[in-house]
Amino acid sequence: MTHTLVPSDRVEHAAVYGRDGAKLGTIERLMLDKLTGTVAYAVIKTGGLLSSHHHYPVQWGALRYDPRREAYETALTLEDLRAGPSEFEGEAFDWGDRSRSYPHPHYWTI
């Protein structure tokens, strides 16, 4: 029998696909709420081998696991991700600071 629990190291680097079926990137890390013990959001890493990488926060509840693909799916597209906050590879970005608001519903402002 299979269960629904998964260790965090198996979630990191898992592929994420958008609503259009295109691969958006991979899960770089999970941000955990220290007080509740829940996953607040995932940081999605986009870009390929020869292109630059950006990191985007996506609410954990906006991701659904697809066992057929062994990957995660979201209703977002790459354009949706680009409309919100991001970190360019190597930039300093405080992933724990949720005080800023962003208009997209799948970021941490809900």
pLDDT single digits (tens) 33-50: 889 988 988 989 998 666
Residue 81 phi/psi, 5-degree rounding, is -60, -45
Q: Which two tokens stand for residue 94?
A: 């405080």
Task: List the single range of 20-29, 35-44, 67-76, 94-103 with lowest mean pLDDT.
Answer: 94-103
Give the ranges where the chain is alpha helix by DSSP (H). Answer: 8-11, 78-82
44, 56 in Cβ contact below 8 A?
Answer: yes
pLDDT single digits (tens) 58-81: 889 999 999 999 999 999 998 888
Structural domain spans, the chain = 8-88
Other CB atoms within 10 Å distance of the CB of residue 51: 8
The stretch 90-96 carries a mean pLDDT of 62
Q: Which CATH class is domain 8-88?
A: mainly beta
CA distance 81 to 110: 16
